[in-house]
Structure 1
Amino acid sequence: MSQPITVAIERHVDPSRITEATIWTQAGTDLAARRPGYLGSGFVRAGAGSDIWYMLYRFADDASLRAWETSAERRWWLESGRGFASEARVERRTGIEGWFDAPAATVLADGGEGPARPPRWKQAVSIWLGFYPTNLVMTALITLLVPGVLSLWLPLRLLVTTLLITPVMTYLVLPLVTRWLQPWLLGTRRR
Structure 2
Amino acid sequence: MATDTRIAPADTDGPLTVSITRRVRPQDELLMQAWVHAGTSMAERFDGFLGAGWVRSGEQDWHMLYRFDSRAHLDAWERSTERMRWLRSAADLVEHRRTEYRTGIEGWFDEPETRSIPDVTESPTAAAVPPPRWKQATVIWLAFFPTSLALTVLLAPVSAGWPVVLRVLVSTLVATPWMTYVFLPFVTRLCGRWLRAAG
What interval of TM-score do these two structures reach, taking the shorter chain for normalisation? Answer: 0.7 to 0.9
- Structure 1 residue 84, shift from structure 2 partner: 3.7
The two structures have a TM-score, normalised by structure 2, of 0.71
The superposition leaves residues 120-154 of structure 1 with CA deviations (integer Å, 9 ceiling, x where unpaired) of 222111111111111122223333223522xx2x4
Whether the 8 Å contact between 1:39 and 1:175 is mirrored in structure 2 is no
The one of 143, 150, 173 equivalent to 1:163 is 173
Q: Which residue is 1:33 aligned to?
A: 44
Kindly report the root-mean-square deviation, in angstroms, between the aligned alpha carbons of the 2 structures.
Answer: 3.5
The superposition leaves residues 135-190 of structure 1 with CA deviations (integer Å, 9 ceiling, x where unpaired) of 122223333223522xx2x4564344323322221122212222222233234xxx
SS of the residue corresponding to residue 56 of structure 1 reads strand
Segments of 5+ residues of structure 1 without an aligned counterpart are none
Segments of 5+ residues of structure 2 without an aligned counterpart are 1-11, 116-122
Q: Which residue is 2:136 aligned to?
A: 123
Q: Which residue is 2:92 aligned to?
A: 83
Structure (1/2) with the larger helix percentage: 1
SS of the residue corresponding to residue 47 of structure 2 reads coil
Q: Sequence identity of aligned pairs in percent?
A: 48
Q: Which residue is 2:19 aligned to?
A: 8
The two structures have a TM-score, normalised by structure 1, of 0.74
- Cα distance between partner residues in 1 of 2:179 and 2:35: 30
Opposite residue 164 of structure 1, the aligned amino acid is: V
Paired residues, what number?
181
Opposite residue 158 of structure 2, the aligned amino acid is: L
Cα 1:16–1:168 shift into 2, 3 Å: closer
- Cα distance between partner residues in 1 of 2:13 and 2:126: 33
Larger mean Cα displacement after TM superposition, 78-87 or 127-136: 78-87
Q: Which residue is 2:54 aligned to?
A: 43
Cα 1:94–1:141 shift into 2, 3 Å: same
Opposite residue 137 of structure 1, the aligned amino acid is: A
- Cα distance between partner residues in 2 of 1:102 and 1:13: 24
Q: How does 1:66-145 map to 2 (within 5 A)?
A: 66-101=75-110, 115-145=128-158
- Structure 1 residue 74, shift from structure 2 partner: 0.5
